[in-house]
Amino acid sequence: MRKRWPSSWMPPLRRSMIWRPSSSARFTAAHSLSAGFSMSAVSSNAGFVIAASIAAAWAATVARRRSRAGGAMLSGRREEASMEPLGVVLTAGLGTRLRPLTPATPKPLVPLLNRPLIAYALDLMRDLGLGEVVVVTGPDDDRTREYVEAQAPPDLRVSAAVQRHPRGPGDAVASVGDALDGRTVVVLAVDTVLAGVDPRLLDGFEASGATAGLLLQSVEDPRAFGVAVLDGDRVVDLEEKPELPRSDLALVGLWVLAPAAVERVRTDPYINARGESDLTATVGAMLAEGHDVRGWLLGGEWLDGGTIDGLLHAQSRLLARAADEIAVAPRTLVTDSALHAPVRIGEAARVEASDLAETVVGPGATLEGVTLRRALVAPGATLRGGEYADVVVTAAGEVCGPGTEA
């Protein structure tokens, strides 16, 4: 699909260029991808069957949790909901693998399809039936704290905690403090974007009586990850970045901890050679002591938003779900330019004499005389001239990524 726009403001009919699904189909897209973007694939009859089954499972999960809490999820009073599971999103890392997008943009606010990574994490927590989430930030990250307070999903209570020093993921969990008391905790790394997580996962974990649970996926080369060995759904071995892996099942960055495991992370964690509280190794130590640890295979997709290459790959995978879509936000000016689907352009952006394909342009960005293929343009960026592929354009106009390598 290709559209060429003359020198003028985008026409009012631009809405007709974007397929807009029914409310049922929108739920499918938002749930299965935690992204909330329209995609034509769900217009098929099969898509609506899937939407119905996912919607029913999710609604049933939330209803069960609200019933057990006696309405606590609706009341918003922590004392009534103190035994309800808690979500914790880890965001306090320095984001060095995302430079130069970071540190000017905090890692949780790095955009993916013009949504910050933290938005995907909050969506997943909600889809698991959680009613309360704590986002752990670094001491100087006021922007993320302001975002979650203002932009959290309306059916999710979200607060922020601060990890004062970068002492590992276990320390980040412990920094949540008294809100952890007596609760099962779902921990998610903010740069982990997951599709297809079973909304009944948390109910199954609680019913099992296990101490901890890990979400896993088969990978070609597991040596860069924590690796689990399963016997059924029980983890029988857990290694961190093994040279000779005993399985290909990698930890994807979602941990479920029963209260006993939470207390262990707070009071007696495994401290690694870097002096950090290692969350996975602490679970591994409990496994070695005979505790019951469960593992679940992710049937959907695991996308890595923690590196420049990973971010571009994640964008390509999500854009592929809307391969025929050209989505242009309001107050955007596109003149003398060719747009080849899929393309997304954020609000108040300006694109002049440019040629774009498989590209996402952030709000307020300016492109003049450029050709971009498989590119991510950060909000507010300005780029004039040049031909690029497989790149990220930062807010400062710096071009980086695999497409710039010699």
pLDDT at 342: 95
pLDDT at 40: 30
- Rounded average pLDDT over 128-156: 92
- Rounded average pLDDT over 219-238: 93
pLDDT at 62: 53
Whether the CB-CB separation of 226 and 241 falls below 8 Å is answered with yes
Name the percent of the chain lying above pLDDT 70. 79
Mean of the per-residue pLDDT values for the chain?
Answer: 82
Residue 301's CB is within 10 A of a number of other CB atoms, namely 15
- Rounded average pLDDT over 106-127: 94
Distance of CA 179 to the CA centre of its chain: 23
pLDDT at 377: 97
- Rounded average pLDDT over 294-320: 92
Looking at domain 50-309, its CATH architecture is: Alpha-Beta Complex (3.90)
Whether the CB-CB separation of 112 and 120 falls below 8 Å is answered with yes
- Rounded average pLDDT over 340-348: 96
Q: What is the pLDDT of residues 209-220, one digit of tens each?
A: 999 999 999 999
pTM of model > 0.85: no
- DSSP assigned state of 10: P
pLDDT at 83: 83
pLDDT at 3: 43
pLDDT at 336: 95
Whether the CB-CB separation of 318 and 35 falls below 8 Å is answered with yes
Among 27-31, 110-114, 126-130, 385-389, which is the least confidently predicted range?
Answer: 27-31
- Checking if the pLDDT of 85 tops 80, the result is yes
Which CATH number is 2-16+325-404 given?
Answer: 2.160.10.10
- Checking if the pLDDT of 166 tops 60, the result is yes
C-beta contacts of 50-53 below 8 A and 24+ residues apart: 51/24, 51/25, 51/27, 52/24
**Confidence category of residue 191, pLDDT binned at 50, 70, 90:** very high
201 CB burial (10 A radius; 0-12, 13-18, 19+): buried
- Rounded average pLDDT over 264-292: 95
- Checking if the pLDDT of 78 tops 80, the result is no
- Checking if the pLDDT of 81 tops 50, the result is no
Q: What is the pLDDT of residues 19-67, one digit of tens each?
A: 333 332 222 222 233 333 333 333 333 332 333 344 455 555 555 554 4
Q: Which residue shows structure tokens 């009613």?
A: 131
Spatial distance between the Cα atoms of 183 and 257, rounded to a whole number of angstroms: 9
Domain boundaries defined on the chain: 2-16+325-404, 50-309
